[in-house]
Amino acid sequence: MDCIFCKIAAGELPCEKVYEDAHTLVFMDIAGDVDGHMLAIPKRHFENIFDCDGETLDRLMRTVKLIAEHCTKACGYDGVNLLNANGASAGQSVPHFHIHIIPRTAGDNINAWPSFGGATSNIDNIYQKLKL
């Protein structure tokens, strides 16, 4: 399959590996946009959350938690942002499921939360559509 992250997981493309186990891999994001930017992926190819099975999600989130705790317990950080895009409309650019991990320290001045432009519809109307 012609997928960058599959090739990284298979060792066919290089990466700066932070952590690896049988099912998941964490490596440095090459964007160079923010210090410590990492990506956590399942080694098997899933496009995003929509086709990813529950067991893989469990494993990926356990790895994300392990790395988050590694950041705070061993690397001097206070917190982490977790970011994830599912689908082109959500801004996903690499179609292999991944979670961005951004380690944080108080006063680091990183703006890791999108500045939304303001809601355009009544909250109750949207709520009627969304509620399960």
Catalytic residue set: 98
Query: What minimum distance in Å lies between the beta carbon of 51 and Zn ion?
Result: 11
Partner interacting with residue 57 (select from Zn ion, ligand 5GP, none; CB below 5-8 Å by kind): none
Q: Between residues 11 and 91, which has the closer beta carbon with respect to ligand 5GP?
A: 91
Binding mask 19-48 for ligand 5GP (x = CB under 6 A): --------xxxxx-------x---------
Q: How far apart are CA 23 and CA 91, in angstroms?
A: 25
Helix (H, G, I), strand (E, B) or coil at 128: helix
**Pairing relation of β-strands 38-42 and 24-28?**
antiparallel
Query: What minimum distance in Å lies between the beta carbon of 44 and Zn ion?
Result: 8
Residue listed under structure tokens 């290089």: 14
Nearest to 44 by CA among 24, 26, 20, 15: 24
- Tokens at residue 107, please? 């006063």
User: Could you list the residues that contact ligand 5GP (CB under 6 A)?
Assistant: 4, 15, 27-31, 39, 85, 91-94
